Chain A
Amino acid sequence: MEAFYEWARVLYETTGINLPFIYDSYDRGRMIDGFFMTVKLSVICLFFSVIIGIIGAWLQNSPLKWTRRIVNGYIQLFRNTPPLVQLYFFYFAISTLLPKVTNEYGGQEPILGGFTWAVISLSFFAGAYNVEIFRSGIEAVPDSTIEAAEALGFTRLHIYKDITLPLAFRVVLPALNNNLVNLVKTTTLAYAIAVPEMLYEANQIWSDNVNVTEMMIFMLLTYFVLVGILVWGMNKWERALKIPGFGA
Chain B
Amino acid sequence: MTWSDDQPMVSIKDLHKSFGALEVLKGVSMDVMKGEVICIIGPSGSGKSTLIRCINALNDIQQGSILVEGREVNDHKLDKLELRKKVGMVFQQYNLFPHKTALENIMMAPLLVLKQEKAEVEKLARQLIKKVRLEGKEDNYPGELSGGQQQRVAIARSLAMNPDVMLFDEVTAALDPETVNEVLSAIKELAQDGMTCMLVTHEMAFAREIADHIYFTDRGVIVEHGPPDTFFDDAKDPRTIEFLGQIL
Contacts and interface: CB of A to CB of B under 8 A. Distances in A.
Contact of A167 (B98, B109, B158): B98
Contact of B96 (A148, A154, A166): A148
Interface residues of B, number: 29
Contacts of B81: 153, 155
A166 B56 CA distance: 26
Given A144-B93, A144-B95, A147-B58, A152 B161 contact: yes
A162 interface: yes
B63 to A, nearest CB: 23
Nearest to B82: A153
Contacts of A150: 58, 84
B131 interface: no
Taking each of B88, B112, B142, which has the highest tally of chain A beta carbons within 10 Å of its own beta carbon?
B112
A142 B28 CA distance: 30
Given A244-B143, A246-B141, A153 B95 contact: no
Contacts of A166: 99
Interface string A142-165: 101101111111110010001100
A243 B105 CA distance: 14
Contact of B95 (A147, A158, A170, A244): A147
B232 interface: no
Contacts of A167: 98-99
A154 B85 CA distance: 10
Contacts of B144: 244-245
A151 B99 contact: no
Interface in B134-170: 140-144, 154, 157-158, 161
Given A158-B112, A243-B143, A244-B141, A151 B98 contact: no
Contacts of A152: 84, 108-109, 113, 157-158, 161
A153 B97 contact: no
A24 B184 CA distance: 79
Contacts of B141: 243-246
Give the size category of A's interface with B: 20 to 34
Contacts of A142: 95
Interface centre among A142, A145, A148, A245 (most CB of B within 10 A): A148
B118 interface: no
A150 B89 CA distance: 10
Nearest to B154: A148
Contacts, number: 72
Interface in B67-86: 80-81, 84-85
Interface class of chain B by DSSP: mixed
A148 B99 contact: no
A140 to B, nearest CB: 12
A149 B143 contact: no
B142 A245 contact: yes
A226 B27 CA distance: 67
B58 A153 contact: no
Contacts of B143: 243-246
Nearest to B112: A158
A153 B98 contact: no
A162 B108 contact: yes
A148 B161 contact: no
Interface in A82-113: none
A243 B96 CA distance: 13
Contact of B109 (A145, A147, A154, A170): A154
A149 B161 contact: no
Contacts of A153: 80-81, 84-85, 109, 113, 161
Contacts of A151: 56, 58, 84, 87-89, 158
Question: Considering the complex of A and B, which 6 residue pairs feature the smallest CB-CB distances, nearest first?
Answer: A245-B143, A148-B95, A153-B84, A152-B109, A151-B89, A153-B113
Interface of B: 56, 58, 80-81, 84-85, 87-89, 91, 93, 95-99, 108-109, 112-113, 140-144, 154, 157-158, 161
8 contacts: A144-B91, A148-B89, A148-B97, A151-B89, A244-B141, A245-B143, A246-B141, A246-B143
Interface of A: 142, 144-145, 147-155, 158, 162-163, 166-167, 170, 243-246
Given A148-B95, A151-B84, A153-B113, 17 more contacts: A144-B93, A145-B97, A147-B95, A148-B89, A148-B154, A151-B56, A151-B158, A152-B113, A152-B158, A154-B109, A154-B112, A155-B81, A170-B99, A243-B141, A244-B144, A245-B98, A246-B98
